[in-house]
Amino acid sequence: MIQNGATARRHAGLESSALLPQAARAHGRAVATIGARLAAVLELAEEEIADIGLAAALHDIGKAAVPRAVLDKPGPLTGREWRLIRRHPGEGERLLRPSFADRPTVLAAVRAHHERWDGAGYPDGLAGAEAPLAARIVAVADAYQAMLETRPYRAPLTPAAALAEIEANARSQFDPDCAAALRVVVRA
Ligand SMILES: [Fe+2]
């Protein structure tokens, strides 16, 4: 099959997810599924739903630029280590820019996936709708899926318990409309 330039570059961008460990790739795929479902509930256009799926799958690609010892550290992080972690959204945007120059929604969502509704997130401290909707959707999908997964320090939550946690943090951490959409997705 002959690929045009944009398709070939995008393929290269998706392959960059191989930079992440297997568990992170599996997490990305699950976040992509939930993110696309949230986007559909919010009645976004087909192209936006596709962009959100891509951004959700690749949202943590910038962690490839953070030392593994910092990512895997079991105890509390030092200030310097925390600064390294907080660089991963911007690093992800930078890494994906050559492959997704024609899909600004993907790049913006990757950069803003750790912003919070109350403006206390990173890297840019965007509040409310200042963060792109695609990023607010990925944030909810990422946090929900993470709670369903086992972590060394806790058992997985049930879908109902994870949904309750997202709803409890709507308007502080999460976009309330995205939290409401998650209720529809989880109950479906
Ligand atoms: Fe992240």
Structural domains counted in the chain: 1
CA of 43 to the centre of ligand 1 (A): 25
Parent domain of 74? 5-139
CA of 144 to the centre of ligand 1 (A): 13
CA of 60 to the centre of ligand 1 (A): 5
Alpha-helical regions (H) of the chain: 5-15, 22-41, 46-58, 68-71, 79-86, 88-96, 104-111, 133-148, 159-168, 176-187
d(CA 141, CA 124): 20
CA of 46 to the centre of ligand 1 (A): 25
**Predicted confidence (pLDDT) at residue 24 exceeds the cutoff of 90:** no
Does some domain include residue 30? yes
Across 62-82, average pLDDT: 92
CA of 63 to the centre of ligand 1 (A): 8
- CATH number reported for the structural domain that contains residue 47 in this entry: 1.10.3210.10
Does some domain include residue 175? no
Does some domain include residue 106? yes
129-155 pLDDT tens trace: 999 999 999 999 999 999 999 988 889
Does some domain include residue 77? yes
d(CA 176, CA 187): 17
Does some domain include residue 167? no
Q: pTM value?
A: 0.91
Q: Give 2's pLDDT tier (boundaries 50, 70, 90).
A: very low
28-55 pLDDT tens trace: 999 999 999 999 999 999 999 999 999 9
Does some domain include residue 180? no
Does some domain include residue 115? yes
